[in-house]
Structure 1
Amino acid sequence: MKILLLESSNRLGGWIQTSQFDDGTVFEHGPRNMRASGKSAVNSLKLVEDLGLENDIIAVPKSHPAAKKRFLYVNKTISALPSGPLGLITKQPPFSKPLALLAWKEPFKRGTPLHDESVYDFFCRLFDKELAEYAADPLCRGIYAGDCRKLSVKSCFPEVFNLEQKYGSLIRGSLLMDRDKTVPTGLVKKSKDEKWSLWTLRHGLSQITRAIVDVLNSDDRFEILIGVKCEKVDFLGPTAKIQYKGKQVEVDHVLSSVPSRNLASIIEDQHSRLATDLRKIPTVSCGVVNLEFEDFKLQLEGFGHLVPSSEPSKVLGMLYESCVFPEHNRKDGRATRLTCMLGGAWFEEYFGNPDNCDLDLLGEVAVTAVKQQLRVDMRPSRIIIRLQKNCIPQYHVGHCDIMEKLDTYIGEHKLPLTLVGASYRGASVNDCISNAKLEVEKLANRNRSS
């Protein structure tokens, strides 16, 4: 068996992009941390263990300010999101009532059987408009850089959706749900025992992709071609023919992790209907501005702050990087790192066509926002500006129907094709690792039984 990997860019790792400087500073320009809890998180921790990277993990426990404290920027003020028992029973801006009062009726509501619903409508229906605008809205901007009025709760937050559908109440479901009784081992056990909330690696998340590449390069069964774009795929019954750089190679199966719109252009000559559905999954672009301020310490301690869409800000949120992972600061400890996220679903409204965007403008917007929102009245000593075009898929209401059509078409036509990656069943790194593992196991089992 031989596995051929085609990568159109000049590097592996996709949106995981890390810069590391001689003075010790580490900046992430894409995903910057991994959640330690949840089913999909288990596979990532096991992968790190298999790669021998467990000694390089930097973990953030649940007791750390970066895990406990999240902020909102509303009405020109930074406000802490309520947390803990006291936070539920006390009134904290921007909410007009304690969260307990906003949510107390939810467990007593009769569940509504739904096929799908927007995240905004879901929170309005179960709780209150304030929770939708000041909790769901910024949460969707922080995770998906998307509009909660369009995003699907079923596809973006499937566990939340399923709890309400199964138990008739999100709160009641959280209390009654079946708990994972699997006995953890190794790094998974360590993460639970030490109550990790987040983690990264000493040299950033790119350390994972570099380690994977090292393993693959040492195995003769793998061939990796960098800077080589797959131009076309033709399916020939149980096999497929792929074209790249004037070559044609017949393969037994295709695993595609490219964005859905890219796959559409590769297969549309032969399967136009499949291509049409693949193009129904939109993406958004984000500006990522990493900032370092010398001889400055941010007084706020926490993960960062998000900006609801109702605020007149082109910044989606800011991450207090030096608080979350101080190990990635300069070795002399004399600087503070921040990251600003800009645009997302509002990118063209704020900055125009991403293909013609002025990167310096993104930088100035970020610096101005830091000055206005965090009262940092100084120029950064280091600034890195990246425009990540079409980087985050948007699971709009009805995404589950698109996925059903894709799966049905592939099954009915018996295409030797597997869809993996962020476009389909989870956009986080944890989701991508977990779903890829699941699909490869299915493929392996199918081959063993045939």
Structure 2
Amino acid sequence: MIHNPVNDKSPGGRRCVTDKGARRIRMWRIAGLTGLCLFLGALVAPNLEQAFAQSQHQGGGHGGGHGGGHGGGHGMVAEEAKHFPSVADDETKSIRPPQRKAAPDMAGNPEIGKQLAYNRSRGRCLSCHVLGPDSTQPGNVGPNLSDYGNSERSRAYTFQHIWDARVHNRQSLMPPFGTNELLSAHEVAHITAYLATLTRPVDDPDRTSSPRRSRREKVFIAGVDLTDADDYIEAGKAAFHQVGNNGRSCTSCHSAGKDGPDLEGVAATYPKFDADAGRIVAIQDRINRCRDTHMNSDPLKRGSARLNVLTSYIKYLSRDVPIQVATDGPAAQAIERGEQRFRRKAGQLNFSCADCHTAAKGQWLRGQPLNSLDNTAGDWPKHFIAGHDLGQISLQQRIRHCQVVTRTFPLDLGSREYTEMELYLTALANGEPVWAPTKSRLRGQ
């Protein structure tokens, strides 16, 4: 059980911090005597009723920042992605079969090959392999290639392996760079020439100083660890009290003496099958249904800062409650479909979620460890930081962000496919406590 300094979690209650140091920090926030904390990548509004209207990085819509919409940075959907299969149920495109390719009649340039191999958006070789002595944060998903030139592999073999490794190993995790048009034949020839120059062994990075961390060591818990993530609780509580078009708010039903149920523990049961909707729904779907039927108000946009903080507050009302999503009945079939999508190869890189988080778990992709997702569903919404600060995002936004990064055409937030994938991941975490909202805790913090 996590000690929670926020004593009163009731929808109508007041936040009461008992620790003197925490109270002092809170007073500084209110008085504005310190620098303003960042809220979702933007400045916190002095009035918490306005806080959820400021989306991170001025991103609006899908939670802003690098994770939202079809915007820039890590949110940019590669144009080529639409030519490759997605995880959509009605997808008609198929994975391209393994393709044999003869090396072009040209001498590759090792210098150009090195530039391509080190480039994060072209060869991407350092993501999985140690190369030369100047390799920076190389991964170890693939073999160490620092002395590949001593391997006596033929030029034809090396070219083919880069072009499409599935010709040699149908289960290879290596993207089919040539078949899927990530690299041209001349570019593959240049990388082939560069690999032939690697003859001096380089040790894998010593990562004994970066041991595997527990779930608790990977996150700050809002309201416990006293970070700017605490503001998500405050902003969510403000959204919970905000009235809709008919003068009613969430508290009109869900507070002491009202007609609606106590919400403590409710979020721990979502996603779940909804008989009225005839499908699996996430907690965000339930929020928007209530806004429609009980508040005469428009739904909040999926992935928006306002819906994320409101979801965070409702999750917070279930703090430390074990996740207990149903795994029988209609949910069982949905979980099976969610797992199938989790394991389905898709996109231009020909990756599945399972490639990184099951087959390669425990290994490193560039400077990041690949973790199992078995116990993390209770952390979301999370202020997510991994290379880029994405601000506060939902679990479905994280799924979508991964697909954008792996050049898989993403689906709409709230789609059946993403909701059932969320259910699958949440079912893996059954029995784990709800800690949301959280914030990524980087190593050393």
TM-score bracket, shorter-length normalisation? under 0.3
- Name the structure where strand makes up a greater proportion of residues: 1
Report the TM-score when normalising by structure 2: 0.24
Larger C-alpha radius of gyration, 1 or 2?
2
TM-score, structure 1 as length reference: 0.24
